[in-house]
Amino acid sequence: MTAFTATVTVRLKHGVLDPEAETTQRALERLGFELEDLRSADQFEVDLDAADADAAAERADEMAERLLANPTIHDYEVTVEER
């Protein structure tokens, strides 16, 4: 078994209201920053042991599907790096 860190980034799908991002965008614009759009995201880092990177990604994907993301309103992506 090899030690991996899987990073799962969860974002609201386009078209789903994101009040946190809207508030932050307005605040940044008041500070003089010009933005086209801003989206918030949650990021989870999971340390796990797996046979290889594909197996680690598969386990992290299952975690995202079952708990970390709601597929109705969220998109997510998984990246894996050896620890």
CA gap 81, 58 in Å, rounded = 13
Q: Over the stretch 32-61, which tens digit does the pLDDT of each residue have? A: 999 999 999 999 999 999 999 999 999 999
Domain that holds residue 78: 2-82
CATH number at residue 30: 3.30.1280.10
Q: Which two tokens stand for residue 3?
A: 């030690």
| DSSP assignments along 30-61, one per residue | HTT---S----EEEEEEEEEESSHHHHHHHHH
Domain tally for the chain? 1
Q: Over the stretch 3-39, which tens digit does the pLDDT of each residue have? A: 999 999 999 999 999 999 999 999 999 999 999 999 9
> What pLDDT, on a 0 to 100 scale, did the predictor assign at position 82?
97
CA gap 81, 3 in Å, rounded = 9
Phi, psi of 39, rounded to the nearest 5 degrees: -130, 140
Q: Which two tokens stand for residue 28?
A: 């940044």
Q: What is the pTM of this model?
A: 0.90
> What pLDDT, on a 0 to 100 scale, did the predictor assign at position 75?
97
> What pLDDT, on a 0 to 100 scale, did the predictor assign at position 52?
97
